[in-house]
Amino acid sequence: MWGGAKEQEAEQDAGNWNAKNWQDEAQKVLEQMVHLLHPVLVVLIILWQMEHYWKTCVKVLSATPEPLPAASQNDSDSIASEYDRLRHTRLLSNSQGEGWEAELRRYIRDFV
């Protein structure tokens, strides 16, 4: 068992001035590792979510293969409808094998 503050104090009282609080040392190491790994974990979670999202999109698209209707001149919600048509077209073209990685690259490229 690793000694804590009491064991460190007992060893120092016995003359070992180099005694360490090993529980505290272990806690510091764990905190440093979590701090270093946090960005990596965030990226892995995002990638996992993107893969899950893509699998769901492919299932939805294969269940509804009909393209969205063309825009009409009287469409009061033309911006949203245009966006939906563009997104649907891109998802249909991506479902041919590019996969979620290609969509993620396009998404990141839009923000850079």
> What's the confidence (pLDDT) of residue 74?
52
State which H helix or E strand residue 73 sits in.
none
- The pLDDT score that the predictor gives to residue 96 is 55
Q: Residue 13: inside a domain, yes or no?
A: no
Q: What tokens does 112 get?
A: 């850079």
Whether 2 is in a domain gets the answer no
**DSSP H helical ranges for 14-77:** 22-63
Would you say residue 5 lies in a domain?
no
Distance CA 62, CA 70 (A): 20
Confidence (pLDDT) at 14: 93
Report residue 85 as tokens: 């048509």
Does residue 91 contact residue 61 with C-beta atoms inside 8 Å? yes
Structure pTM? 0.38
SS3 95: coil
19 and 39 Cβ atoms separated by less than 8 Å: no
The residue among 20, 16, 26 whose CA lies nearest residue 6 is 20
**Is residue 9 one of the residues assigned to a domain?**
no
Does residue 8 form part of some domain? Answer: no
Q: pLDDT tens track of the chain, all 112 residues?
A: 578 899 999 999 999 999 999 999 999 998 888 888 888 888 888 888 877 877 777 666 555 545 555 555 455 556 667 777 777 777 666 555 667 677 777 777 776 5
Number of domains the chain is built from: 1
Domain presence at residue 80: yes
Q: The domain containing residue 30 runs over which residues?
A: 18-111
| Residue 95, in any domain of the structure | yes
